[in-house]
Structure 1
Amino acid sequence: MTGHSHLRAVGVRIDYDAVPRRVRHWVEQVLGAPVAEAVTQRGGMSPGCAARLRLADGRRAFVKAVGRELNADTVRLHRLEAAVLAALPVVSWRPRLLAGYDDGAWVALVLEDVEGHHPDWRDDGQVRAVLAQVEAQALELSPSPVGASVVPTLLEKLATWSAVLEGDLSGPKGALPSWFRSNRDLVERHLEALSVALHGTTLCQWDLRNDNILIRPDGSVVLIDWGISRLGPVWADIVVLAMEWAETPRFDEILSASPLLAGAGDAATGILLGIGGFLTVAGTWDAPPGLPTLPAFRAREGRRMLEGARRRLAA
């Protein structure tokens, strides 16, 4: 199987020592021991701190923390992740939330430190294991144990995509490719179909990609990062994971093999059009604080998604 571990946008991380003293004091209080070592994890698409901690007594934990001065939107995402993980059952395939901190300006999560590595998409066995775990989690979280008062819906995402696309299509020199513009009615029909297809009561992680998945030494799968989770249909996370291969026939093969997609119709093409179009336009926006590479990442991923949508429309 061809591997598609696409480069991600990288946030400007701060080291643990740069986190406010009050937050670090709280970490040591909830863990019950001083921090002896903090190793910053440089990957990820958020600014702020992400560090593996070794405590003075030998125990380990993982901390992620961000303040409004670094990126206000990331504060909101951390806050949502903390609320979601606090409400979910403790299982082996999600990192356990040990404690959460929120003083209005800074939000921090202390999580179980998971030993593992990101999946190698060239390894068919790892791909199958991840797909099986994503399907199992989708069924586990149907219906969602977290209510709509906490978690937004995918229909709200659709509204954002539609508004951004309409704004670009209405301008004389938009970012969207000519084939997208010349098939505007077809695109609108696919997005209109999503207004029905994206209804659902499943808690969708909606951010499943190579760097948000870990494989433990025993081969088991852990699905991490819940900051953009949404309520939607049971099949949504399979489509999100398959987008690792959006521009290739492997995308179609994954969807065809999953029983969760049996009643989804052609919603996947609409999602590629919506996300791909949104990312293409967003790739022209200024970089937000702490994410200097985000516009280039969005533009690159937008092209991939639209290539996949165009391929499916031509089939």
Structure 2
Amino acid sequence: MPTGFTPRTEWPDAPRPLVRAVERALATTVVGIEAVHGGMSPGPAAVLSLDDGRQVFAKAVAAQQSAKAHALYAREAEVLPRLPADVPHARLVTHVVRDDWIVIVTDAASGAAVGPPWRSQHVAATTDAVAVLSAHTDVDGLAPAVDRLPTLDGWELLAERPDAGNVLDGWERDRIHTLVAMSRGWRTWTAGSHAVHLDVRCDNVVEHDDGVWLVDWAHAASGAKWLDAACLAADVVACGHVGGEAVALRAATGILAGLPFEAKRFVVAMTGMFRHNSLREPVSTAPTLRAWQADRARSLRPLVETLVTR
């Protein structure tokens, strides 16, 4: 399992009535299971081989396991049918709600997640994928980006802490006013009418045929055209590149160089969000989340250093 992600329960441990409900929805039976790990949900995920010869991807979660993940799955089930046909994504096959469980079933990709770490061909394919997505405007049913983004006021919240002098490291203390200034106004400059995924990470990009699919669509929204490209640039540095840190940084700065200045501000603000949230109380349903957020903030420092001047 990728480092930092929430351990998942196994598909064979899902309640039998739930599995039978999924089989009824698919009009066939499950004859093979290949577990899939990664992500922040504690529920099971697997590629299911079906008696009729198909393969599908299924992920499930109970509200009792994680009310947040349950709500996100329900939202994703609403988003997937609304995506334009040319957007590279796994088509929704069915979704099942039974008791406090929800299951999403989609087409299965022909390959696996592209990382970590990233490879240059996957960065290029993902760049193309988000460009296809963002070319669409005013997609019906997508909420404004401000409603789907986490709060990006992290640097300001850190600066306001009574113990900021102890919490911030030396580099951050010297530049905190710049970090705060670059992050301010994000609710305005992330707005727009373009369709965006808003959670572009290497574990949310899977190989399929000669290209890639974007998966996990719960955060999809309408926003600024450059948002997903900025997320991609940040993730290349945060998750690393097979060619090493210098290659990752060069790829990220290359992506950002072709975007508006607000994209650079977004990376700075997102790093502040990770830094701030990593210091919050642990989440019982996602025990590795705070450590993952802390690692993201640390890993993004080299990129932020290129974007911030004293």
TM beyond 0.5: yes
TM-score, normalised via structure 2 length? 0.85
CA distance in 2, matches of 1:286, 1:72: 17
Gaps of 5+ in 2: 239-248
3-state SS of paired residue (1:199):
coil
The structure-2 alpha-carbon separation of the partners of 1:87 and 1:307, relative to structure 1 and needing over 3 Å to count, comes to same
TM-score, normalised via structure 1 length? 0.84
* 1:274 paired residue number: 269
The one-letter amino acid paired with 1:82 is A
* 1:32 paired residue number: 27
The one-letter amino acid paired with 1:183 is R
Contact 1:118 1:211 in 2 (8 A): yes
Gaps of 5+ in 1: 1-6
Shift of 1:56: 2.0
CA distance in 1, matches of 2:111, 2:119: 16
Give deviations 1:178-237, integer Å, cap 9, x for gaps.
Answer: 433443432332223433321111221111121111222x42221111122232111100
3-state SS of paired residue (1:93):
coil
CA distance in 2, matches of 1:39, 1:156: 31
* 1:229 paired residue number: 220
* 2:131 paired residue number: 135
* 1:188 paired residue number: 180
CA distance in 2, matches of 1:19, 1:204: 32
Shift of 1:91: 4.2
CA distance in 2, matches of 1:283, 1:173: 15
Give deviations 1:89-125, integer Å, cap 9, x for gaps.
Answer: 3447100001122357222101111111333666433
Percent identity of equivalent pairs: 25
Contact 2:231 2:267 in 1 (8 A): no
CA distance in 2, matches of 1:145, 1:202: 11
The one-letter amino acid paired with 1:170 is E
* 1:96 paired residue number: 91
3-state SS of paired residue (2:222):
strand
CA distance in 2, matches of 1:171, 1:200: 32
Q: Higher mean Cα deviation, 7-16 or 22-31? A: 7-16
- 1:239 aligned to which of 222, 230, 244: 230
Q: Aligned ranges for residues 1-315 of structure 1 at < 5 Å?
A: 8-91=3-86, 93-103=88-98, 105-119=100-114, 123-139=119-135, 141-148=136-143, 152-154=144-146, 157=149, 160-162=151-153, 164-174=154-164, 175-216=167-208, 218-246=209-237, 248-257=249-258, 261=259, 264=260, 266-314=261-309
